[in-house]
Amino acid sequence: MIASLLLDTLPLAQMPKVTSALLIGALVIFAGIVVVLFIFTSYFGLWIQSVLTGSKISFGNLIGMTFRKVNTRAIVRSKIMATQAGLDDPELTVGALEAHYLAGGNVQQVIRALIAAKKAKTISLTFREATAIDLAGRDVLESVQTSVYPKVIDCPPRGSAKPSLDAVAKDGIQLKVRARVTVRANLQQLIGGATEETIIARVGEGIVSAIGSAVSHKAVLENPDVISKAVLVKKLDSQTAFEIVSIDIADIDVGANIGARLQADQAEADTAVARANAEGKRAAAVAEEQEMQAMIAKSQAEVVEAQSDVPRAMAEAFRNGKLLVMDYYRLQNVNADTDMRRALAGHSQESDRPEENH
C-alpha cells in the first residue's frame, strides 16, 4: 500500500528509478532473512543443547568459532560433557577449549580423561595438566586409565631377541629369568618422564645385578622374591612416567655352567701360553746349538790350519840343521807308541762294559 501510494504521488519520470530501488531493497532484506534463517538452523540444535545443559555457549560464540575455523560440534559436545560430569575447574572455559583445539590437541579426549580422573576419586588432574599431557603427544585418557588400573609390562618384552634375562651367580651357574612389572601411571611426571623402555631396561639391570650378587644359584631358586625385593629397593621408577607397584618373577630356569666354561677356556689359554714359551725356549736352544756347532767347525778349521804348518816347520828345521833324521825317527816312534796306547785303552774300556741282557 505504501509503495503504491508513493508510486501514485511520484511523477511518471521518476517511477522506474524508484521501482528498481525498491526491488534492490527487497532483495537485500530477503537475502538477510535467508542468511539469518540459515545461521539459525545451523546452530540452533547446538545452541539448544548448550542452553538445556547449562553450558552457557551463546550464538555469538558459535558464529565466532566458525570464523576462527574451530570444530563447533567438538567444542560444544566437550563443554556439555564437562558440564554434565560436574567438572568445576575454573580454567575449563569455551575459550580454553578453542585454544587447545587450535593448538592441535584432542579436546574430547582431554575431557574424557578429566571425567575418568574425577570418577576415580584418587587422581588429581587439572585441565591445564591434561592439556599439557595431550599436547606432549601422550594419550591422556590411556594414562588416566593406567593410573586407575595398573598395567603389566613383560621383562624382557614380548617379541624381543632374547626370550629371557640371563645372569650368572657367584658360583658360576647361569640363571634365565622372565619377570612381570606392574606399573601405575604417574601423571605429575608424565611430561618429560621416561617411558616403558626405560622401566624395562632398569628392571633388567636390577635383576642381573641381584642374581650376580647371590652367593649361590640355589639360594635364588629357593627364594625368587629376593630378586624382586632387591630391585624394588633401588627405586627404579625415579624420573619416569610410571610408578612401579610390584615386580614378580614369572619364570626362572637354570642355564649353563658359565664358571666352569670360563675356567676351561682359561686353562686352554694358559696351556697355549706355556706351549708358546716352551717352543720359544726350544728354538733358542736349537739356535744356541747351531752356534756351538759353528764354533766347533771353526775351531777344527783352525786346528787343520795349524797342523798344515807342522810339515813346513819340520822341513825348515831339516834345512837349518835343527832337526836330525834320528830325531825325526824318535818322534815317529813316540807318535806310534801313543797311537798304540790309545788303541789299547779303547779296547780295554769296551771289554770292561757289562754285557746287555736280551
Model confidence at 13: pLDDT above 50 = no
Q: What is the pLDDT of residue 351?
A: 60
CATH 3.30.479.30: which residues of the chain?
157-301
Would you say 209 and 170 are in contact if contact means Cβ atoms under 8 Å apart? Answer: no
Residue 305 C-beta-side C-alpha neighbours within 13 Å: 6
Q: Greater confidence, 91 or 322?
A: 91
3-class secondary-structure state, position 16: helix
Q: What is the mean pLDDT of residues 129-136?
A: 87
Please name the helix (run of DSSP H) or strand (run of DSSP E) that holds residue 185, with its range, or none. strand 173-185
Model confidence at 264: pLDDT above 60 = yes
The model's pLDDT over 17-63, given as tens digits with 9 standing for 90+, comes to 556 666 676 666 766 665 555 555 556 666 677 766 777 777 677 77
Residue 19 C-alpha cell reads as 521501482
Model confidence at 5: pLDDT above 70 = no
User: What region does 149 belong to: left with phi over 0, alpha with psi -120 to 50, or beta?
Assistant: beta
Helix ranges (DSSP H) in 103-223: 107-120, 127-135, 140-148, 196-213, 217-222
Q: What is the pLDDT of residue 73?
A: 81
The model's pLDDT over 291-303, given as tens digits with 9 standing for 90+, comes to 888 888 888 888 8
3-class secondary-structure state, position 152: strand
Amino acid at 26: A
Neighbours of 210 (CB within 10 A): 21
Mean pLDDT over the full length of the chain: 79
How far apart CA 166 and CA 234 sit, in angstroms, is 20
The model's pLDDT over 189-203, given as tens digits with 9 standing for 90+, comes to 777 777 888 888 888
Would you say 175 and 188 are in contact if contact means Cβ atoms under 8 Å apart? Answer: no
Residue 238 C-alpha cell reads as 625415579
DSSP state of 338: H
Give the right CATH number for 157-301 from 2.60.120.1130, 3.30.479.30, 3.30.500.10, 3.90.870.30. 3.30.479.30
Would you say 99 and 68 are in contact if contact means Cβ atoms under 8 Å apart? Answer: no
Asked whether the whole model's pTM tops 0.75, one would answer: no
How far apart CA 238 and CA 201 sit, in angstroms, is 13
